[in-house]
Amino acid sequence: MKVLLAILFLIVSIGCSGITKMVYIKPDIPELPAKPGYYSVEFQKNGGLYCVDEGNAKNLLKNREVDKGYQEELRTIIEGLQ
């Protein structure tokens, strides 16, 4: 009985091994966009608060817009991979 089971197992394993083929699929991942250059922002401490003057506030807003563009590029890459 054990010999018959062993022979049956060998026949099934040999037959199935010819059917099975391992294929690795790797996604085509685009290059990451270059990190953006940011404008310098200096904060001044006024009592217990941190403040920015007009020029630094403009630079802070410019940095936010630059960062939004960078995030959108990264989001486009991620959505393309899904």
CA 82 – CA 79 distance, rounded (Å) = 5
pLDDT at position 12: 67
Q: Are 33 and 73 in contact (CB under 8 A)?
A: yes
pLDDT digits (tens, 9 = 90+) for 5-63: 777 776 766 655 556 677 888 778 888 999 999 999 999 998 999 999 999 999 999 99
What is the pTM (predicted TM-score) of this model?
Answer: 0.61
What does the DSSP assignment read for 7-53?
HHHHHHHHHHHTT---------PPPPPPPPPPPP---EEETTEEE--
CA torsion 11-21-79-66 (nearest 10°) is: 130
